[in-house]
Structure 1
Amino acid sequence: MAKTPKVAVLLAGCGHLDGAEVREAVLALLALDQHGASFQCIAPNADQYHVVDHATGRPVAGARRNILEEASRIARAGQCLDLASARAGDYDALVMPGGYGVAKNHCTFAIKGAEAEVRPDVAAFIRGFFDAGKPVGAICIAPALVALALSGRGSAELTLGNDAGCDEAMRILGHHPKDTPNAREIVIDETHKLVTTPAYMFDDAKLSDVWIGIERCVTEVLKRC
């Protein structure tokens, strides 16, 4: 890397049941920092799909939370950029942690599977990186968001661990899911400069294994900047 790469980190809130998976997000930021990259956390300024009580795992009736405000809990106050002000051209790469918020707030994959829609602003931002030939790293469920955003733009190789339902949805969308045995693994699609890792698609994954997979993913993304 001849220069310090600037990486956009797209967050989906805060909390794995209704936002960004906090461990995945922090580990991704740590990996970027350790490799000397600069980063900017980004999130849409919009309401979450719903709010989940993480102590019980149940939705909270009538509750509302803002994706940008919640993502700022991870980014630190005032350090998360409104997606409306973000441009793919300002960054060298994109990294997306997972969490159910990716599949509920950025798109409707958690509800509609292969028939899901993507928020137009999120789709446009993601496509901007692929259109410019810039590398993208997608963690956990985030490869499904990529698959939806790339629908009709060619087939990508990616991993969502070994979830049969997700794999079938990827095939319906015209992509090529690759099963991986654990959270340490990555899949690289050189044609699209897409690097994916399953992380907590394995519910029982050890934190240390999630870290290894994310660090490997970030390393390969930065190599392609």
Structure 2
Amino acid sequence: MLELNAVIFDMDGLMIDTEPVGKMLVKTSHERFGYEITEDMFYHLIGTNEKTSKAYYHSVFGEDYPYQKIKDYRDQLRKEYFNSHPLEVKKGLYDLLEDLKKKNIKMAVASSTRYERVLSNLKSIKVDHYFDAIIGGDQIQHGKPAPDIFLKAVELLGVSKEDALVLEDSKNGILAAHAGNIPVICIPDLIHHSKDILDLTVGCYDSLDQLIDVIVKKDDKA
């Protein structure tokens, strides 16, 4: 059992099943401009914010890489896709959120996606009211795998790091939580991580609802 006062959720790939679509959009938008995205490159990018991903693209493709053009095209494709495809919620999300609410455990979302889209997505799947804090990747200086976004979440929730838990699917998210000395649980999505990454977590589960019997509210009087 984990005794906690707060749980911090990633969004893409953890709460919402957006990673397969994201992968398709990244590959398609780059192919349109003559660039190839390998599996290893996509793995490196999962969980990063725009600032971090932009720097990575330029490090791989050079200074002439047309980041903004490809991003604008990808955003157009994303809008067209989700206009006709509703967001798919990951298994167990609603049950876990309701359970944590009943246990009076604070909750936050800390996503590398920019804040405006995070809030829109949470409202779309009708879960925004569960969260005491929502942070987007455009609201912090250093994106995952730096710990900034999780440290900000802990600060906004008003809890100590040892009394919080991060839920992540990506390598960069796990590294970020570990760098911030915040316990992290992995719920794998597209990629099953190597042992050295999983060793940084306090556990790995197949779905969010499996955590209902794992997480309990910490008794501050104990």
Q: What TM-score, normalized to structure 1?
A: 0.41
Q: What TM-score, normalized to structure 2?
A: 0.42
| Bigger radius of gyration among the two | 2
Larger RCO of the pair (alpha carbons < 8 Å, separation 6+): 2
